[in-house]
Structure 1
Amino acid sequence: MTDPSGVKPAPGPDQPPIPVRLVTFNTHHGVGDDRRHDLPRLAKVLAAADADVICLQEVDRHFGDRSEDVDQALLLSRALDMQLAWGPAIDEERPGDAPRRQYGNALLSRLPILISDVHPLPGTGEPRSALRTLVELDGGALWVTTTHLTTRSAEERARQVQLLRDLHTDSMETGVVVGDLNAAPDAPELSALRADFSDAWTLAGDRDDQARWRFWQRDEGHTHPARAPHVRIDQVWVTPGIQVVAARVLDGAGASDHLPLVVDLLVPSGV
């Protein structure tokens, strides 16, 4: 990490890497495959993951009837006793003194959040955004960018991915890009990401998913649709130097139409 003077402090001798458990999960605004909005069920799934950092997509804040007009981001952060960073993609006024109607990405963290900013992504149709945060580690720091790319076209996704790459500047040596990318890891539109990041699933020394009896699909990391996952669109991408110890697709307990992905990382210290 670079201090305000532009001088990066030298790491101490033989500092071990820092373990970080990270989850990414498209929550489908808390509505499960039984079509019920059940925020306690979602909170239970997230708590069971025992993560340091949780990156969520499709989160509602006073959005309307589909999520009982509650502030999901705040309620989840309180239920899990974690810090909250918020990145709306939709942000609309409502009449009178009603809270703003919002929808987007959230980051929950056990670790201190030092920086948080939101960046609209280019494209048409449903607005999309990226939530960029800097999380303080014990002896280091980690940039985490959470996003949800468009479903409209590969061309629009390519433009969005280029912006994600541009957000990660040279001074941000250690970081991850996570979320629902709506594309396979080897899709051409993700080429700008592959230039500087690596797919955590392929790097993981230990992998497990929810294939169960489908032995021909073991260890493929499929996360969607939840009842019969057959695509790997929920992903974690890491910069060089970050080790991926394990990657697992968790049982979502019916809390969403996606399944959560958890990765155990070893982040270089002194960065």
Structure 2
Amino acid sequence: MTDPFGIRPAPGPDQPPIPVRLVTFNTHHGVGEDDRHDLPRLAKVLAAADADVICLQEVDRWFGERSEDVDQALLLSRALDMQLAWGPAIDEPHPGDRPRRQYGNALLSRLPILISDVHRLPGTGEPRSALRTMLELDGGTLWVTATHLTTRSAAERAEQVAALAALHTEQMASGVLVGDFNARPDAPELHPLRERFTDAWELAEDRGDQAGWRFWQRDEGHTHPAHSPHRRIDQAWVSAGVTVAEARVLDAEGASDHLPFLVDLRIPSGV
């Protein structure tokens, strides 16, 4: 049995780990490589991944003309029939009685969302945030933190990474930290993550880029830019005890300037 804070006993010898499929994807507010805002196209890509948890960056809610002034987070959650947790980074009032103009991180889940909170990250320029959730599993819990780090400087990313690492305490259950880090996994500013987490791509038993026309980049994990990927900036980091059966880069079908990154996780079960 799991307590409300996700603390649980060590798994018994006869209890198999719990499988969780997770996708992280920078959606570029639903605007694809053809410069068209096409939310149904994006929903189709996400549905094809058949994930239990989907973490999205650069999502708009009533933001403006670039995304047809719609609530992307709510529409995607309804299209996929998944629960929604929302973590704005930009949150501004509209004139009159209109909904607030927001932009940030969204988490869609087939699993029950027990806790959801938003944490502002340090830095200048475009505001950045982290969306932290606790998900209920059949026999355990999983903490998922989704984020999108700054492009301004390595020094500012280092401050943001330190804040992210502090969000997952030793008393928590198994956890995964995902998003667009705007830095390669071995970048010096990501060092605090390596002290507490492991790069899921490196840990995966099976991995590869599955878009066939990128055969020459197999085993690279590159996700950006979508038309000619050569940067591994969309990542998943897992806490101790979490194993990774598979990690794959998916084809975005032109829906964004990034490619989706999928990991099949195995979460230790409770007693």
Gaps of at least 5 residues in structure 2 are: none
Deviation at 1:3, TM superposition (A): 2.6
Deviation at 1:222, TM superposition (A): 0.2
What letter matches 2:117 in structure 1? D
Which residue is 1:134 aligned to?
A: 134
Partner secondary structure for residue 45 of structure 2? helix
Preserved contact between residue 8 and residue 140 of structure 2 (Cα < 8 Å): no
Preserved contact between residue 133 and residue 144 of structure 1 (Cα < 8 Å): yes
TM-score by length of structure 1 reads 0.96
Which residue is 1:170 aligned to?
A: 170
Name whichever of 166-175 and 82-91 sits farther off: 166-175
> Per the alignment, do residues 199 and 46 of structure 1 end up closer, same or farther by CA in structure 2, a change over 3 Å counting?
same
Preserved contact between residue 30 and residue 256 of structure 2 (Cα < 8 Å): yes
Which residue is 1:85 aligned to?
A: 85
Q: Percent identity?
A: 80
Which residue is 1:66 aligned to?
A: 66
Which residue is 2:120 aligned to?
A: 120
Deviation at 1:113, TM superposition (A): 0.1
Gaps of at least 5 residues in structure 1 are: none
Q: What's the CA shift string for 1:33-61, capped at 9, x where partnerless?
A: 00000000000000000000000000000
Deviation at 1:169, TM superposition (A): 1.0
Q: What's the CA shift string for 1:208-242, capped at 9, x where partnerless?
A: 21574555532100000000000000000001111
What letter matches 2:78 in structure 1? R
What letter matches 2:161 in structure 1? V
Number of aligned residue pairs: 271
Partner secondary structure for residue 88 of structure 1? strand
Deviation at 1:26, TM superposition (A): 0.1
> Per the alignment, do residues 153 and 116 of structure 1 end up closer, same or farther by CA in structure 2, a change over 3 Å counting?
same
> Per the alignment, do residues 235 and 219 of structure 1 end up closer, same or farther by CA in structure 2, a change over 3 Å counting?
same
Which residue is 2:107 aligned to?
A: 107
1:76 equivalent to 2:65? Answer: no
Q: Distance in 2 between matches of 1:269 and 1:44?
A: 32
Which residue is 1:153 aligned to?
A: 153
Deviation at 1:173, TM superposition (A): 3.5
1:186 equivalent to 2:172? Answer: no
> Per the alignment, do residues 158 and 252 of structure 1 end up closer, same or farther by CA in structure 2, a change over 3 Å counting?
same
Preserved contact between residue 116 and residue 133 of structure 1 (Cα < 8 Å): yes
Which residue is 1:227 aligned to?
A: 227
Deviation at 1:262, TM superposition (A): 0.5
TM-score by length of structure 2 reads 0.96
Preserved contact between residue 211 and residue 219 of structure 1 (Cα < 8 Å): no
The alignment yields a C-alpha RMSD, in angstroms, of 1.8
Name whichever of 147-156 and 163-172 sits farther off: 163-172
Q: Distance in 1 between matches of 2:5 and 2:174?
A: 19
What letter matches 1:73 in structure 2? A
Preserved contact between residue 197 and residue 237 of structure 2 (Cα < 8 Å): yes
Q: Distance in 1 between matches of 2:216 and 2:246?
A: 21
Name whichever of 159-168 and 208-217 sits farther off: 208-217
